[in-house]
Amino acid sequence: MTTTTSTPARPRRRTAVPWTAAAVLALIGLAALAPGLIAPADPFAEDITARLLPPSAAHLFGTDELGRDLFSRVVHGARTSLATALLALAFALALSLLIGLLAGYLGGPLDRALMAAVDVLLALPSLLISLLIVFALGTGPVELAIAVGLASVPAFARVTRAEVLRISSQPFVEAARGYGLARHRILLRHVLPHARGPITALSALELATIVLSVSALSFLGYGTRPPDPEWGNLIAEGRAHFATAWWLTALPGVVLVCLVLALHRVGRALGGGKAGPV
Amino acid sequence: MAEALTPGRPGPAPARRAAPGRSLAAYLLRRCGYFAVVVLAVYTLSFLLLYALPSDPVALMLERRSSGAGGSSPERLEALRAQYGLDRPLPERYAETLGRLLTGDLGTSFQSGRPVPEVLAAAAPSTIALAAAALAIALPLSAALALATSWRPGGRLHRILVNVPALIAGIPAFWLGLLLLQVFSFQLRWAPSTGGTGASGLALPALALALPVTAVLTAVLVRSLDEVQRAGFVELLRARGLPWHRIYLHHVARNALLPFVTLVGLTVGGVLVGTVITETVFARAGLGRLLASAVQTQDAPVVLAIAMLAAVVFAAANLAVDLLYPVLDPRLRRRQGGKHP
């Protein structure tokens, strides 16, 4: 009995839905869409009688130096953090799809030139690229999204190209070519849909990296301006009371780590367990 | 971090093309050429981003310097632009700046008015110490962790330890630093919180900088170790009755080392740039902090100099690894030298 149940359990486990990770993502998504539902307290309401309180039932994450409820600020910060990260992902995805499709499908000298450029950029630390772009564009959430998004184009474009190459070599693409279909039509109708799966999995993993980069740059002070809550920002602000109020830096970070790990988990599940976060 | 993880690095591709009839010298020459290309590409990218955009560093600098001192006149603005060479066309400045860099002239900081080499020299020693300490932690730690993980693939230890790098990679570097600071400085009081001198002050920042790198290195080494263990020669050695620890350390580990060494070369640049975050978290003076503040104050010459420094260090580390390849891997030596006996 035990042998018959344990053998088929293995393939099922591999494709199992990561419920915990999905729940974390759903919760953070809800926080971004409707923060009032999760944290009814006003994230900007100051209360000088409740300054720097440790976490309690009334204030789940404690309060900051102005008596603002930290839990509420973290929940309301989810929108800025996620929106910036998703915008960055959109930039990265759009540009790298374009580069990957062009290079992978057209091949030849264009492919070699694009990939040489991508290789050089890939070699550079993405933080350096982001900092250079921040220098050029200035600070702010949108500028930050562009900086982080562009910095992750090289890695993305490489994978897109590899996918396009793999699919282009398959018989049905050859058949489509044999029928005399136009190149752009083959590319958009036959190659791109088949590349969707791996690219989706990569997107989830890349989004995790992007969330980390956005929070790091925002921690350095290149993102949203202080009164508005954002996770990297909240952690940076909490440093002022680091010695006495550990929760100001620790708890927003815990939420951030949960999001990143959940994205890793979902990305791995989408990729069929092949792709790892590192 | 992702950029170091993608297998598509430029190394293998040219090596494949080189297969028949090319000597070791051609290989070495090509790697040196790659060095030059990387540095030039970084220069071009940095220059375009730093100077081609319409932001006006001179106006910004004057605003900051003369706030309270009567403001700035348009004539003074023009004079300053001419002094820093910002009034000439872009291609001319591109060529001229490149020429200056090649002769070692890094220019003058917009912000402090001091020569850039002087500014860099003041900040460099503490950053070099930090980066070296981080690498000194990351390399042995990742090797040990990977060797322990991969000892028995499919074993319980493997299943547990294989998740450790992924877990560490999910933690933001700056938060990890704050966490270490909170636990070891404020709660346990083992290390000074800021400005400690010598090893005690260096330990926490170095660890914070090393851990994310360790995660990447470990993951790659584990993957490589697991792969080598499936090779046929391992089975043969087992069948000949060699003890496993001997096979593992002498044969498997040696063969698995190559991707690891490649990645070490790639991480050197990452560690250097990672100091931007670590030095901010631990309030240490250094190149990272300098870069962060130079970005904020639009101090283009300083940013350019640090970007170039990072590029040169990074490309040099990769060149060193590439030159090491024929030493480490006899196959490479034989294949490329074999046609020229």
Q: What is the pLDDT of residues B29-67, one digit of tens each?
A: 888 888 888 888 888 888 888 887 665 666 666 666 655
Task: Name the residue with higher pLDDT: A10 or A98.
Answer: A98
Cα(A191)–Cα(B198) distance, rounded to whole angstroms?
58
Identify the structural domains of chain A with CATH numbers, from first to last.
25-39+59-272 (1.10.3720.10)
* Closest Cα in chain B, distance from residue A181 (Å): 31
Q: Which amino acid is located at A174 in the chain? A: E
Evaluated on CA atoms A228, A234, A236, A241, the torsion sign reads positive
What HEC string does A211-236 produce? HHHHHHHHHCCCCCCCCCCCHHHHHH
Q: Most B CBs within 10 Å: which of A112, A128, A251, as the mutation test of the B interface?
A: A128
DSSP line for B82-95: HHTTTTS-HHHHHH
DSSP line for A153-203: HHHHHHHHHHHHHHHHTSHHHHHHHHTT--HHHIIIIIIHHHHHHHHHHHH
A79: region left, alpha or beta (phi > 0 left; psi from -120 to 50 alpha): alpha
Q: Which of B3, B10, B171 shows the shortest C-beta gap to A257? A: B171
pLDDT band of residue A275 (cuts 50, 70, 90) is: very low
pLDDT less than 70: residues of chain B:
1-22, 53-72, 84-85, 193-199, 332-341
Contact A235 B2 (CB under 8 A): no
Give the range among A100-109, A171-180, B5-14, B261-270 with minimum mean pLDDT: B5-14
pLDDT tens digits for range B169-185: 888 888 888 888 888 88
Q: Which residues of B touch A256 (CB under 8 A)?
A: 172, 175
Q: Which amino acid is located at A60 in the chain? A: L
Contact A132 B182 (CB under 8 A): no
Contact A249 B172 (CB under 8 A): no
Contact B6 A209 (CB under 8 A): no
Among B265, B298, B302, smallest CA distance to B123 is for: B302
Q: Which of A129, A253, A277 shows the shortest C-beta gap to B166? A: A277
- Point out which residues pair with B108 in neighbouring strands: B115
- Cα dihedral A13, A16, A19, A20 in deg (nearest 10): 40
- Point out which residues pair with A69 in neighbouring strands: A63
- The alpha carbons of chain B give a radius of gyration, in whole angstroms, of 24
Whole-Å CA distances, A193 to A19, A188, A202, B278: 27, 7, 15, 42
Whether the complex's predicted ipTM is more than 0.90 is answered with: no
Cα(B24)–Cα(B334) distance, rounded to whole angstroms?
9
- Phi then psi for residue B162, to 5 deg, are -65, -20
Q: Which of B38, B52, B172 shows the shortest C-beta gap to A120? A: B38
- Two tokens at B159? 């299943």
Average pLDDT of every residue of chain B: 79
pLDDT band of residue A264 (cuts 50, 70, 90) is: confident
Strand, coil or helix: B115: strand
Q: Is residue A14's pLDDT more than 70?
A: no
